[in-house]
Amino acid sequence: MKTLLLSTALVALSLSPALAGKAFISNERGNTITVVDTDTWEVLTEFDGGNRPRGIIVSPDGKKLYVCASDDNLVRVFDTETYEELPSLPSGPDPELFTIEESGTRLYIANEDDNLVTVTDTNTREVLAEVPVGVEPEGMGISPDGKFVVNTSETTNMAHFISTEDYKIKYNVLVDQRPRYAQYTADGTRLYVSSEIGGTVTVMDIAEDGAPTVVGKLTFEVPNVQPEWLQPVGVKVTEDGSRVFVALGPANRVAVVDGESLEVLDYILVGQRVWQLDFTPDQKYLLSTNGNSNDITVIDVAAEKAIRSVQVGQAPWGVAIID
């Protein structure tokens, strides 16, 4: 009865005239998803997200929200309008991060406990393949042409390039300790892989056939911050590739990097233990999830400045944004 009332209220809300964008934040400890209006930066609502929600993405059509409910060992699915829960997807054990192809059909999920990447069909809700990778798979990036999925394995310290045609690993590239996140540029010619414990981001150029070549490494230095706390996790690149933003974990900063020269231009002070990042679809704003201060920071992308923070649930982990 309560749920019914709540969903009625939410439907009423979603009928309100403002067609503002929405940010969905997974709260790892709170077991909830916070919804934030990206115009007013007000919290719209918070709903149950399953046990230990971490990785969070939206289907390419913007209609479905996918959440890795790590302790439930499945991917929970929600309607982005009504927040109603839809049938879950099988994910393999302990899903943490995932990525989806442009058509919205195949979901690629990292299973931290099983050294596997699970490929799940979002329509039939069937597991299409399980790809053995290195120890503790975590980061998942997909090439813009959809031909490769890159998985990072935290204890093996590699980026594994998996062909989406035959689900075979075509290339392995050693990176620094505990790689967390893999992010292609929009044109697919470059890939950034962050190494949390190594304190670096490995930069690779990607050839037309998808073959990677390591061309550089980002390192970070902040006065009065111990180098041990400069732990790169989330990475996002602007559409034109000119700016790379790197979340630096317990350093409580997001680094701004020149995508051409690979020089670090600035460090934006955000909340505590910054994990993941996402742009608003128009790329005007970048949001960071700050796990230890229970808030998100809104960064003005053009100005490269933090403009405000919004209190969300307990231990915010990931963020996904729609129009």
Taking CB under 8 A as the criterion, the residue among 44, 128, 197, 225 binding other proteins is 197
Give 147's contacts (C-beta < 8 A, 6+ positions apart). Answer: 163, 164, 165, 210
Nearer to other proteins by C-beta: 162 or 310?
Answer: 162
Nearer to other proteins by C-beta: 211 or 269?
Answer: 211
> Which 3 state secondary structure label does DSSP give 296?
strand
Interface with other proteins, residue 156, by CB under 8 A: yes
Taking CB under 8 A as the criterion, the residue among 157, 252, 289, 309 binding other proteins is 157
Q: What dihedral do alpha carbons 144, 150, 152, 157 form, nearest 10°?
A: -120
Residue 140's DSSP bridge partners are: 151
Interface with other proteins, residue 46, by CB under 8 A: no
Half-sphere exposure of 171 (CA within 13 A, CB side): 18
Number of residues that bind other proteins (CB under 8 A): 35
**Can you read off the two tokens belonging to residue 243?**
């700016």
Interface with other proteins, residue 162, by CB under 8 A: no
Which of 212, 287, 207 lies closest to 36, judged by CA?
287
Q: Which one of 59-67, 173-181, 185-193, 299-307 is the stretch in contact with other proteins (CB under 8 A)?
A: 173-181
Q: Which one of 33-41, 131-139, 258-266, 298-306 is the stretch in contact with other proteins (CB under 8 A)?
A: 131-139
Q: What burial letters (b/e) apply to 237-270, b meaning 16+ CB within 10 Å?
A: bbeeeebbbbbbbbbbbbbbbebeebebeebbeb
Q: What does DSSP assign to residue 280? A: -
The DSSP result for 86-123, as a single string, is: EEEEE--SSEEEEEE-TTS-EEEEEETTTTEEEEEETT
Q: Which one of 5-13, 141-149, 213-221, 287-295 is the stretch in contact with other proteins (CB under 8 A)?
A: 213-221
C-alpha pair distances (Å), 71 with each of 58, 113, 161, 260: 20, 11, 27, 40
CB of residue 92 to other proteins, shortest distance in Å: 13
Residue 169's DSSP bridge partners are: 162
Interface with other proteins, residue 76, by CB under 8 A: no
Q: Which one of 40-48, 74-82, 108-116, 186-194 is the stretch in contact with other proteins (CB under 8 A)?
A: 108-116
C-alpha pair distances (Å), 238 with each of 184, 201, 241: 11, 16, 5
CA distance 102 to 321: 16
Taking CB under 8 A as the criterion, the residue among 73, 105, 155, 238 binding other proteins is 155
Of residues 235-254, which lie at the interface with other proteins (CB under 8 A)?
none
Query: Phi/psi of residue 207, each to 5°?
Result: -75, 175
Nearer to other proteins by C-beta: 27 or 34?
Answer: 27
CB of residue 112 to other proteins, shortest distance in Å: 5
Q: Which one of 81-89, 110-118, 143-151, 185-193 is the stretch in contact with other proteins (CB under 8 A)?
A: 110-118
Nearer to other proteins by C-beta: 111 or 280?
Answer: 111
Of residues 176-195, which lie at the interface with other proteins (CB under 8 A)?
176-178
Interface with other proteins, residue 72, by CB under 8 A: no
Instruction: Give the interface with other proteins as residue ranges (CB under 8 A).
Output: 94, 112-113, 115, 134-136, 153-158, 160, 169, 171-174, 176-178, 196-199, 205, 207, 211-215, 226, 228
